[in-house]
Amino acid sequence: MSALLELTGVSASYGGRRILEDIALSVRAGEIATVIGHNGSGKSTLLRTIFNLVPWRAGAIRFIGRDIAGLAADRLLAAGIAYIPQNRSVFPRLTVAENLRMGAYLLRDANLARRRIEAVEALFPVLIERRVQLAGTMSGGEQRMLEVARALVVDPQLVMLDEPSIGLAPRMVDAVFGAVQLLRERGKAVLMVEQNVNKALAISDRGYVMELGRIRLADRAANLVGDERVKRLYLGRRSA
């Protein structure tokens, strides 16, 4: 199966400082790929680079065989790529239902938007119970669920998640990772950056280990779980 997303020779800089160097990475449909690495390794910058949110980029970024390196974020979303950043992105003063409707803003067909919203509510029944609740009053894990659901309203083929479990209670971490697995079951490609290494690799198909802006290891996720090189590159430097 050919890759849905493919990066070759990708580099990126902020303010003249090189953050990413010669990145090669790919994600297939129906696959979870997780990027791990210590703080400052460039993981979040990688997702932002794919979504054209970094000032300087070089290299090739292809989605379904198309070069997307220069597309604006709204065009990337329309093309089938959803990006959920590390910081909460719900509209806190809008209700859950209103947040989901905001996710449908690219859809010009009102009936299609309604069907899409009903479909994501069926995937996340808690959102049906909370339709009239202000999103800002939900727990962190529930807000993550809402972010994922809102992203799915446009039916993306690739979902990129930056630290989806950060700051969550253990019960909600399990729920969020369950939602990520649900995306795979629906045939979505998932590219996830995550600090919870063991839990992330346990649900992933492939893993990438970053250090100082480069990918140092790439393998099946199951092979990386007990790999001494992962402990040396990441776990042993976790406090760095």
pLDDT per residue as tens digits for the range 153-192: 999 999 999 999 988 888 888 888 998 999 999 999 999 9
Residue 1 lies in a domain: no
pLDDT per residue over 192-216, tens digit each? 999 888 899 999 999 999 999 999 9
User: What is the rounded CA–CA span in Å between residue 210 and residue 24?
Assistant: 11
Say if 49 falls within a structural domain: yes
24-37 pLDDT, tens digit each: 999 999 999 999 99
Position 114 scores a pLDDT of: 94
Distance CA 47, CA 30 (A): 19
108: domain range?
Answer: 30-53+72-237
Residue 127: count other Cβ atoms within 10 Å of its Cβ: 23
What are the tens digits of pLDDT across the range 57-101? 899 999 999 999 889 998 999 999 999 998 888 999 999 999 999
Confidence label for 1 from pLDDT (cuts 50, 70 and 90): low
Let me know if residue 200 belongs to a domain.
Answer: yes
pTM: 0.90
Contacts of 105 (CB under 8 A, 6+ apart): none
82, 93 in Cβ contact below 8 A?
no
**25 in any annotated domain:** no
Indicate whether 67 belongs to any domain. no
- Please say if the pLDDT value at position 236 is more than 80: no
What pLDDT does 69 receive?
A: 84
Question: CA–CA separation, 205 vs 221, rounded Å?
Answer: 5
CB 180 within 8 A of CB 161: yes
Phi-psi region for residue 218, left (φ > 0), alpha (ψ -120 to 50) or beta?
Answer: beta
Strands (E), 68-205: 81-84, 158-162, 189-193
- What radius of gyration do the chain's Cα atoms show? 17
User: Residue 239 — very low, low, confident or very high, per pLDDT cuts 50/70/90?
Assistant: very low
In this structure, are strands 5-14 and 81-84 parallel, antiparallel, or unpaired?
unpaired
Residue with tokens 């993981």: 43
Is 209 part of a structural domain of the chain? yes
The rounded distance, in Å, linking the Cα atoms of 160 and 82 is 6
146 pLDDT more than 50:
yes
Q: What pLDDT, on a 0 to 100 scale, did the predictor assign at position 7?
A: 97
Q: What CATH number is given to the structural domain containing 127?
A: 3.40.50.300
Picking from 178, 226, 186, 172, the residue whose alpha carbon sits closest to that of residue 203 is: 178
| 225 domain residue, yes or no | yes
> 104-107: long-range contacts at Cβ-Cβ below 8 A with a sequence spacing of 24 or more?
104/153, 104/154, 106/74, 106/77, 106/78, 106/154, 107/153, 107/154
Q: Choose among 84, 54, 82: nearest CA to 69.
A: 54
Q: 220 and 206 in contact (C-beta within 8 Å)?
A: yes
**Does some domain include residue 13?**
no
| Count of domains forming the chain | 1
Helix (H/G/I), strand (E/B), else coil: 163:
coil
